[in-house]
Every structure is written in structure tokens, then in C-alpha cells.
Amino acid sequence: MERHQVYEQLKNRLKQQGISVRCLEPMSRHCTIQVGGPADLFIAAASCQLPFLIQCCREWGLPYAVIGRGSNLAVSDQGFSGVVIRLLDGKESIRPLAPDGYWLPAGVTLAQAANRAVQDGLSGLEFAHGIPGTVGGAVFMNAGAYGSEMKDILTQVQVLTPDGEVLHLSPVECAFSYRHSRFCTSGELILGAAVRLRPGDPTAIREEMQRLWQQRREKQPLEYPSAGSAFKRPPEGNPPAAALIDRCGLKGLCVGGAQVSEKHAGFIINRGGATAADLRELMAQVRTEVQRQTGVLLEAEIRFLGEE
């Protein structure tokens, strides 16, 4: 069967389940840095629908990719030849877990989770409030800020294996390290996670979230589309990536519409009309120049999806 016939069949099957599918959806709409060509099929779905959707993709032999808010992601200009599933869960799907925790479906945003915690007087998610991603993306990346990481608050992660099995993993089994987890290579999909917090004063928690948000606004180029830090922190003993890039005189360097932010050299911003190829080329130039001048090889933090 031709690929387009398979897509038609899949669309019909999903329609019967009330799941809407978009064809040739520009992925630049679903990545915060706003680059990327079309996905053949694009589905926005709740985390609980993921096992069924993956089963369909597997039955028809279709490549698939699961994303959250696309805040650490750049899709290639050629797009993605397959099915992109974007997880979206409402804040009402957050479930309290006694005594001081929550069950968070993968498509809930960190901001929704942090806002719920402050309402309930639970502390521990303040660091995550300003990270513009979902729980799924944050577990995948072991996202972190201000000295805390997802691994510090997780007690369990529920995953869907490539064989369609649902597993419950302990944090140790997730093999978390700096901006890395086993999910970066395992092909497992995150369905949700349990977090443990601690009781706190709602006013103090809110003030801390506002203080950290203010710090982000002052230091980060939030007025431009970006995917956050373009590079990971270099190995211990080296200055942060932003300091190295700045020291090498690369602030403001442009390729097409992509630019090393003048405000924060760790960010690459889209000044308008940037392509994924611009972003890749700029990152390559920064890596080469930083290595030439300092000997440090920077590793990309942004994840790339689709053929170059």
C-alpha cells in the first residue's frame, strides 16, 4: 500500500475515535524556536491516548515522534516524514498523591504543575515553573534550573516501551544525569510521572517563583523565539557554555535569521525567518570556534528531529 493510502486509513480510524489529525502541519508552529517543515500527519492528544496511537502507527509501519511543547526542539526544514504526536493534558488531569505529591500526565506543563503546587501549599517545583516544557519533555531531558533537576522530585515514571508494554520505573532505573536520561536512547515514551514535594507556605512559594521568573526575564532573551540553552554545560572545571561563547567574541554572530543572543550567549534566537539549516550551521560555527580558541567541545542541548 502507498504511504498516502496508509495515512488515509489511519486518519479514518482515528476519526472514529474522535481524534483529529492534521496533514502537512508546519512544525515551526509547534517548536518555540519556530523552525521546521511539515509533519506528514500531526496529532494533538492526551497522554492516555498515546498507547492506542502508537499501536496504530506500529500496525501500519509508520515512523512516529512524540513531542511536548517543542521548547528544546528543532525540526528539520524538510519536516518529518511520519506522524508527530504532541501531548497536551489539561491541568485537571493532575492527580494528588498522598501525602505530598502528584501524578502528572506527560502532557501537563511544568507551569501548570507548579501553579497547582503553590495552590496546595507544596514546595519543590519552584525551579521548574519558568521552564516552558511539559512533564514528558522535562523527564526526557532531566530538565533543571537554579540547582534543582527533575530527578530530585520524581518518585516514579510511567513509560510505554517500543513493544507496547507499560512499565513503572524508579528514578534510579531512569539513569538520570545532567540533561540526560535513559529515554534519550531507549525509544520508550513517557506517559506520566509521580513527584514528591514538601509542605510550604504558599506566599513564600509564590514569591520564590516570581523571583526566579524575574531573574529569567532579566537574563534571558525571552522577547525572541528560542529553544533555551543551545549547548549543555561543559564538563566540570570549565566555565559555562555562555561564558565560553562570549569570551570567543561570538555574541551576535548570525547565520541567516539565527543569531547568538547579544543578551545571553548561551541562547540562539530566531530573529525572523530562521531555518533549521541556519540554526545547525550557526551551532556548528560556534562549536568549531569555541574549540579552536578554548579547546572545549560544546555538546548540543537542542534536540533535532527529521532528516537534514
Q: Give the start-end residues of each E strand in 34-79.
A: 38-45, 64-67, 73-75
Binds ligand FAD by CB under 6 A, chosen from 53, 138, 154, 253: 138
Q: Is 70 in the site for ligand FAD (CB under 6 A)?
A: yes
Binds ligand FAD by CB under 6 A, chosen from 35, 53, 54, 67: 67
Q: Give the start-end residues of each E strand in 223-271.
A: 226-229, 254-255, 258-260, 267-270
What's the rounded Cα separation, in Å, for the pair 126 and 134? Answer: 15
What's the rounded Cα separation, in Å, for the pair 156 and 294? Answer: 40
- Contacting residues for 303 by C-beta, under 8 A, at least 6 apart: 72, 73, 74
Stretch that binds ligand FAD, among 15-23, 225-233, 241-249, 276-284 (CB under 6 A): 225-233
Q: CB-wise, 141 or 296, nearer to ligand FAD?
A: 141
Q: Report in angstroms how near the CB of residue 139 gets to ligand FAD at its nearest.
A: 7
**By rule CB under 6 A, what count of residues binds ligand FAD?**
33
Kindly give the residue spans of alpha helices, DSSP state H, lying in 120-201: 135-141, 183-186
Q: Is residue 93 annotated as a catalytic residue, yes or no? A: no
Q: CB-wise, 158 or 275, nearer to ligand FAD?
A: 158
Q: Is 181 in the site for ligand FAD (CB under 6 A)?
A: no
Task: For cell 509533519, name the residue.
Answer: 39
Q: Is 38 in the site for ligand FAD (CB under 6 A)?
A: no
Q: CB-wise, 77 or 99, nearer to ligand FAD?
A: 77
Bridge partner list, 159: 167, 190
Binding mask 232-271 for ligand FAD (x = CB under 6 A): ----------------------------------------
Q: Is residue 301 annotated as a catalytic residue, yes or no? A: yes
Binds ligand FAD by CB under 6 A, chosen from 28, 34, 49, 72: 72
213 sits in the region (left: phi over 0; alpha: psi -120 to 50; else beta) called alpha
What residues between 189 and 218 interact with ligand FAD by CB under 6 A? Answer: 189-190
Q: Which of 139, 143, 178 is nearest to 159 (CA)?
A: 139
**Given the residues 86, 179, 280, 287, the one annotated as active site:** 179
Angle between helices 3-16 and 50-59 (to 10 degrees): 150
CA atoms within 13 A on the CB side of 70: 22
Q: Is residue 47 annotated as a catalytic residue, yes or no? A: no
Residues tagged active-site: 179, 229, 301
Residues that bind ligand FAD (CB under 6 A): 32, 65-73, 87, 106, 131-134, 136-138, 140-141, 143-145, 183, 189-190, 220, 222, 226-228, 303
